[in-house]
Amino acid sequence: MSCEIRPTGSMRWGDRMADIGIALPDLLRLVQAHLFLSGCAVAAALLVGLPTAILAARNRRIGAPMLGLISLLQTIPGLALLALFYPLLLLAGRASGLPIPALGFLPALLALGVYALLPIVRNGVAAIRGIDPALVEAADGLGMTGPQRLLLVELPLGAPVILAGIRTAAVWTIGTATLATTIGQPSLGDLIFSGLQTEDWRRVLVGCIAAAALALLIDFVLALMESGLAVRSRGRLGAGIALLLTIVAGAVLPIPDRTGSVGTAPGRTIIVGAKNFSEQYILADLIETRLRKAGYRTERRDNLGSAIAYRALAAGDIDVYVDYSGTLWANVLSRTDTPPAKAMLETLGRELAQRDKVRLLGSLGFENAYAFAMSRKRAQVLGIGDLGDLARASPRLRLATDLEFLNRPEWRAVENHYHPSFSAARAYSPTFMYRALGDGSADVITAFSSDGRISAMDLVTLSDPRGALPHYDAVLLLAPRPAREARVVAALQPLIGRIDIGMMRGANWMVDRDNDKRTPREASAWLAAKIGPAM
């Protein structure tokens, strides 16, 4: 297939570090976001943790259960903790009637803060309890009040141990903050997660190395301060503080964005959501480009779980994203029937607007549905064009599916409508499923219809004349607020119906293939050029 890269004009020399798969300003922005989030989380943990530690150190009856509780929180896996805060905040928002954002910075801050709590509290308690009892007796005997003893004796003497706890917390937090991307908060995890999804190992590596480097840097600076405190060297402590302040300044300094302006463009910031696969990244980039041209600033919330994305849109935590009609039909409307594509879109448009004031702007023009695919040549030889033909030929054919298809309602629907009886049906992970087809150990596979490999391997997808398989039209959804904004709608309207299945497969292939891999942004630029003058 053809997927030549046309120069997009906006890229300048040095704008992109060709060998690491990400533009430098974008990398810096992620580093900043990562640092800012981690810093705020550790600061929040410190704000809560230090008083808790003091209380726990003074009162053993409170101390033991408190440390137990915090240790228990620590055993929750980071990913789960992040995911838990979404429904919690959603609930809190509903219960209080306040506009509490359930996605992005706040839940990430809370989850990471909780995570950072343990080393801070544990070391805080150890620092205060570890102080020579003679010094505590002296402090009391001299007539220090509780707060005086804390400020003049316990905190200064416990500082190295307290700081060691902060150091542990900071390193943990910087590592765990990569997971924040799953609840829509930008971090270096964006690179890791999208890199894993698109099998772009350069991005994974850059993300990992950048996060590790940040952790090492912060660890070094805090270690410098810690040793400065331990040996009472003002020089070391001062150098550590100066470095820390420099890093803090770096975390909040504005970085020029892609268009060269420093993020002061008129118009509000529109938040574009994406689930966790290549096609979603490409389309989100395409949407961003349209909105930026219309004068909006944009932010991304990537790697949203399928269940979270729609709720986030309905709650206004994201403004726009692409979902699929069949997914919305089953998950949001809880329907099990499979009406024709047009009827499904109409019903969805009406029901989502009525229920959540969400606007379904329209179908982009392609489907990402389950489809049976086989090599073009073999299909021609066997005379197979649709699922009816396939079912008749099935006793001589071997089926390869992805890991879950044989347990899905789609498969039951196909069996009920066409009664196939394949000589073998085996489940593979997607990559091996395509290999099985390639090396002849399978004749038919269950593909996703917009998968780039369909074009690249010259496969045909078989039609479904009896309508057994549900439709998965890619549709553009707008949150209640942007749904009412004519300029946003006008900026995105030109995408409706303009992306055919071939174009989407081409763009997906650019990102998913192993050789000459492109970034989602490059693929979206290619797609934009294909769509043509309206863009």
Partner 1 sequence: MISFSQVTKHYAGRPVVEGISLSIARGAFVALVGQSGAGKTTLLKAINRLVEIDSGAITIDGEDVTALPLAALRRRTGYVFQGIGLFPHMSVAENIWLVPRLQGVPIDGRAERVARLLELVALPPVLADRYPAQLSGGQAQRVGFARALAAEPSLMLMDEPFGALDPVTRSELGRAYRALHERMGLTSLLVTHDMAEALLLADRIIVLGEGHILADLPPRELLAYRGHANVQAMIDVVRDQTDRLDALGRSDG
Residues that bind partner 1 in the complex, under the rule CB under 8 A: 132-135, 137-145, 148, 152-153, 156-157, 232
User: Hey, how many other C-beta atoms are within 10 angstroms of the C-beta on 275?
Assistant: 22
CB-based burial label for 527 (10 Å; 0-12, 13-18, 19+):
buried
CB 139 to partner 1: min, Å: 8
Residue nearer to partner 1 on the CB measure, 144 or 255:
144
Structure letter (DSSP) for residue 494? G
Residue nearer to partner 1 on the CB measure, 137 or 415:
137
CB 226 to partner 1: min, Å: 15
Residue nearer to partner 1 on the CB measure, 139 or 391:
139
Residue nearer to partner 1 on the CB measure, 225 or 315:
225
Residue nearer to partner 1 on the CB measure, 81 or 225:
225
Q: Which of 98, 97, 117 is nearest to 42 (CA)?
A: 117
CB 266 to partner 1: min, Å: 55
Residue nearer to partner 1 on the CB measure, 95 or 134:
134
Cα gap 334→395, rounded to integer Å: 35
Q: CA distances (Å), 117 to each of 38, 124, 212, 260, in order? A: 13, 10, 21, 39
CB 61 to partner 1: min, Å: 17
Residue nearer to partner 1 on the CB measure, 142 or 424:
142
CB 127 to partner 1: min, Å: 13
Cα gap 474→483, rounded to integer Å: 18
- Residue length of the chain: 535
Cα gap 441→435, rounded to integer Å: 8
Contact (Cβ atoms closer than 8 angstroms) between residue 306 and residue 318: no
CB 162 to partner 1: min, Å: 14
Q: Is the dihedral of CA 231, 232, 233, 237 positive or negative?
A: positive
Residues 6+ apart with CB under 8 A from 32: 250, 251, 252, 253, 255
Q: Which of 272, 273, 255 is nearest to 264 (CA)?
A: 255
CB 185 to partner 1: min, Å: 40
